């Protein structure tokens, strides 16, 4: 493989992860110009480019050293790790969990089936696009079942009579319900991940990965953070501080000409609800503001 001085990230060309992955990279300060065929995005500021591909191809592209990082669901990464051949150049690691694309890989059976646990699957046929993950789950439980591998529309297999149960991704459960199926066991909890080689390149690309990881941490941290500002008398501070939702110690600023009054500034780890604000006000706060946080660098 020819050495590269630019970092290359693989992401899904078109699908559920495309928009949130683009949004994440944009929030990390990266901007791109897309090629005509829409398969490549050239990084305009930092030397970081994107390769736009089917999500199933992402782990292989990193393992073969074609890309340095990728954004892909844990379901796809783990399936790859269980089923790929031995041609990989590098072992893969979960560098960051990104908090979007949340779903689970579950076993589901027809609503009318008597299901008293995984042993009921012995001798049955299970349709799935995840033969590696399902096979491991069955092996761990010593269950001998048939695995029918399908590329898509797995939920329809029991109605077509080609399988007795399915193992597929579930989020709201709407697709299962629409196909008269009921979820019985969760095999894997998944979300989008930043995936990369276990050992980072020892050149400029390694430094770029370090920089990107720090920015991603900042983006993830501020995504739900709020900055709470309020005024209060020093006497009510103890009661107010007890009500503050999570986060580091608040900062106190004196108010000019009012020695017993302060302004309090607190970084809250999650949303601050109206109810919480009303409670804090009852404890003596006034002039309260809740502000979104744009950037954070620890």
Ligand X SMILES: O=P(O)(O)OC[C@H]1O[C@H](OP(=O)(O)OP(=O)(O)O)[C@H](O)[C@@H]1O
Ligand Y SMILES: Nc1ncnc2c1ncn2[C@@H]1O[C@H](COP(=O)(O)OP(=O)(O)OP(=O)(O)O)[C@@H](O)[C@H]1O
| Binding footprint of Mg ion on the chain (CB under 5 A) | 55-56
Q: Is the CB of residue 220 less than 8 Å from the CB of residue 99? A: yes
Q: Is 173 an interacting residue with respect to ligand X (CB under 6 A)?
A: yes
Q: Is 116 left (phi over 0), alpha (psi -120 to 50) or beta?
A: alpha
Q: Is 167 an interacting residue with respect to ligand Y (CB under 6 A)?
A: no
Cα–Cα distance, 126 to 137 (Å, whole number)? 12
Of residues 72, 157, 163, 169, which one binds ligand X by CB under 6 A? 169
CA torsion 209-213-214-217 (nearest 10°) is 170
Q: Is the CB of residue 93 less than 8 Å from the CB of residue 196? A: yes
Instruction: Give the nearer residue to ligand X in terms of CB position, either 116 or 151.
Output: 151
Q: Is 190 an interacting residue with respect to ligand Y (CB under 6 A)?
A: yes
73 binds, among ligand X, Mg ion, ligand Y, none (CB under 5 to 8 A by kind): ligand Y
Of residues 171, 180, 198, 251, which one binds ligand Y by CB under 6 A? 171
Of residues 3, 45, 142, 152, which one binds ligand X by CB under 6 A? 152
Residues 191-220 contacting ligand X, CB under 6 A: none
The residue nearest ligand Y at its CB is 73
Angle of CA points 254, 256, 261, to nearest 5°: 50
Which distant-in-sequence residues (6+ apart) come within 8 Å of 18 by Cβ? 11, 12
Binding site for ligand X (CB under 6 A): 16, 152, 155, 168-175
Q: Which residues bind ligand Y (CB under 6 A)?
A: 12, 15-17, 54-56, 73, 75-76, 101-103, 169, 171, 190
């Amino acid at each position: 493989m020819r050495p590269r001085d630019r970092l290359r990230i693989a992401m899904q060309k078109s699908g559920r992860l495309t928009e949130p992955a683009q949004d994440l990279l944009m929030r990390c300060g990266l901007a791109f110009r897309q090629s005509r065929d829409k398969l490549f995005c050239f990084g305009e500021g930092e030397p970081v480019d994107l390769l736009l591909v089917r999500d199933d191809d992402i782990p292989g592209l990193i393992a073969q050293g074609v890309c340095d990082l990728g954004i892909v669901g844990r379901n796809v990464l783990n399936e790859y790790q269980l089923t790929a051949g031995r041609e990989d150049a590098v072992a893969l690691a979960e560098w960051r969990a990104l908090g979007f694309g949340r779903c689970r890989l579950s076993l589901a059976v027809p609503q009318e089936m008597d299901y008293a646990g995984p042993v009921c699957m012995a001798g049955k046929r299970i349709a799935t696009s995840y033969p590696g993950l399902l096979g491991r789950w069955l092996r761990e439980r010593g269950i001998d079942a048939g695995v029918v591998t399908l590329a898509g529309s797995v939920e329809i297999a029991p109605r077509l009579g080609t399988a007795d149960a399915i193992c597929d991704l579930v989020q709201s459960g709407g697709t299962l319900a629409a196909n008269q199926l009921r979820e019985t066991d969760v095999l894997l909890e998944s979300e989008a991940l930043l995936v990369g080689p276990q050992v980072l390149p020892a050149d400029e690309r390694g430094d770029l990965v370090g920089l990107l990881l720090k920015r991603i941490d900042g983006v993830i941290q501020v995504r739900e953070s709020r900055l709470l500002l309020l005024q209060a008398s020093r006497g009510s501070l103890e009661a107010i501080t007890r009500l503050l939702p999570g986060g580091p110690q608040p900062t106190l600023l004196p108010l000019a000409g009012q020695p017993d009054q302060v302004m309090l500034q607190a970084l809250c780890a999650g949303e601050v609800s109206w109810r919480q604000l009303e409670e804090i006000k009852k404890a003596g706060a006034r002039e309260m503001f809740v502000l979104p946080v744009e950037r954070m660098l620890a």
